[in-house]
Copies of this chain bind each other. A is one copy, B any other.
């Protein structure tokens, strides 16, 4: 079972509330959920919609088809009518022509009016949907009671729910499921939660869609957990504030989208040369410049890898799923501390706004490793060198005030082992080599390798990075089910570029790169950093995420032919 419910209307009509309540209801009932947002860069009006895909098996991306449409306005009928599958259901307050689909007309606004609050019309629709799906009301009632905190509002919503329930007949029979040990979370929340779990103490940021959710989530916990979130005057301040905090010894982070990242790029190099750990969440949206502020794209890849003048070590993590946003953000803090460098966590609007059920995170999987000088080491240091030359390129890191009688000096100019400015060629070379050595150490000591899915013998290897994983996995499974020998390699770290698994799986296959941009940036990286070449690229750059069906269809059409 795999159904996609679309709720469509204009900004300001309360779509988010409907999504939240339905997500929670279906989640509580034990269904697998993958819910996404398609919204415009405006506060009111326009055309927005939420897609809630749910089923009884793990879902890794949005659906292409629309099975059930809840149309909150006439515009939504116009836009979505033809997208609803044959025999699909349209729930609407009014009478419209729906061709070969079934219209469930619900007098939501009249009912809401009667109940004395026009806002509860949406809840009437929810009731109607539940009935059509043959579900009970109890779970939703509990959800509503938790969602609203005013008794009167809860009551009127409960009434609206029931009224809606009574308006229609059961249309679909759903299987019974009962999944436990899960949580329901979106990409931005998971990213923020990963940071909190890693012990982030300071977050400085400037609001920018679609990254703001990360800051919002961390901010909501700041008082409880003793974290400080500060809204900076601009992104330049944000990254430099975070660097100041990190230098002082706490885990620090900033977050933004591409435009803000551009402004931060000078600061990224500062993190590089001062060897200050820093996490930057870059939640991509389509560019260039302002672009499509509320939509999705994977077009900042090469920019992020190459950002800032000069050369310095950098790690770029590209979480492949909502769950991965949590785990890789957590890990990024350990990597940043261990190697004393900036780590960019490169997400996108698709992941940020994807809400899904994932297996409950456990603190037992988490091990915070600060790698600062410990007390014993601290006592034995006499002439502290922040940039001491070592074999692995990693110098002992202390924070100001940590060492008795020793100061900590860091510098954005090229410097000697003490952090003092130098200009001679010899020291320059040593320091460049020292920093470069860290990249080599990472490659030696850490596995940043992609995940493989598929059989041993394959003819085609789909390669993707970041958020495209979910839809690509769905496509790969369907292709495999159709007996095509297709494997999938999904990168959640792209820099330093890991090549081990590529060398294992790619030889003898036709590589098909699937990514959400127009110039095939990852395919270029593949060419320059590995021994392989992309055979074909499946690209998308209309601001919308891939679906599994789309990749499946395009693979058949463009690759298999």
Contact = CB atoms under 8 A, between A and B. Distances in A.
Contacts of A421: 41
Nearest to A297: B310
Given A259-B309, A262-B309, A299-B311, A414 B525 contact: no
Contact of A273 (B287, B529, B542): B287
A272 interface: yes
A77 to B, nearest CB: 18
Report copies per complex.
Answer: 2
Contact of A286 (B428, B529, B542): B428
Contacts of A265: 262-263, 265, 307
A310 B295 contact: no
A519 B529 CA distance: 12
Contacts of A541: 311, 428-429, 432
B306 A519 contact: no
A470 B46 CA distance: 59
A413 interface: yes
Interface in A170-205: none
A309 B413 contact: no
Contact of A423 (B295, B297, B436): B295
Contacts of A270: 288-289
Contacts of A291: 273, 309-310, 412-414
Contacts of A309: 257-259, 261-262, 284, 287-289, 291, 299-300, 303
A17 interface: no
Contacts of A65: none
Quick one: which of A266, A297, A300 has the most chain B CB within 10 A? A266
Quick one: which of A270, A290, A292, A421 has the most chain B CB within 10 A? A290
Contacts of A293: 413
Nearest to A266: B262
A269 B289 contact: yes
A518 B303 contact: no
Contacts of A40: 423
A208 to B, nearest CB: 11
Contacts of A355: none
Interface in A274-298: 274, 284, 286-293, 295, 297
Interface string A298-326: 01101101111111100000000000000
A516 to B, nearest CB: 11
A272 B272 CA distance: 28
A43 interface: no
A543 B266 CA distance: 20
Given A423-B40, A423-B41, A425-B542, A300 B290 contact: no
Quick one: which of A262, A273, A425 has the most chain B CB within 10 A? A262
Contacts of A284: 309
Interface in A318-351: none
A524 interface: yes
Contact of A274 (B289, B308, B412, B525): B289
A544 interface: yes
A75 interface: no
Interface in A27-73: 40-41, 46
A236 B528 CA distance: 32
Contact of A288 (B263, B311, B544): B311
B262 A308 contact: yes
Interface in A189-248: 236
Contacts of A428: 286, 292, 541-543
Contacts of A41: 413, 421, 423
A25 interface: no
Contacts of A429: 541-542
A157 interface: no
A59 B355 CA distance: 65
Given A289-B413, A295-B423, 15 more contacts: A41-B413, A262-B262, A262-B265, A262-B309, A266-B289, A273-B291, A288-B312, A289-B308, A289-B310, A302-B302, A306-B307, A423-B543, A429-B541, A525-B528, A527-B527
Which 9 residue pairs are nearest across A and B when measured between Cβ atoms? Answer: A287-B310, A258-B309, A288-B310, A269-B288, A425-B542, A289-B412, A262-B266, A287-B309, A528-B528
6 contacts: A41-B413, A261-B309, A289-B413, A303-B308, A305-B306, A425-B542
Interface of A: 40-41, 46, 236, 257-259, 261-263, 265-266, 269-270, 272-274, 284, 286-293, 295, 297, 299-300, 302-303, 305-312, 411-414, 421, 423, 425-426, 428-429, 432-433, 436, 517-519, 524-525, 527-529, 541-544
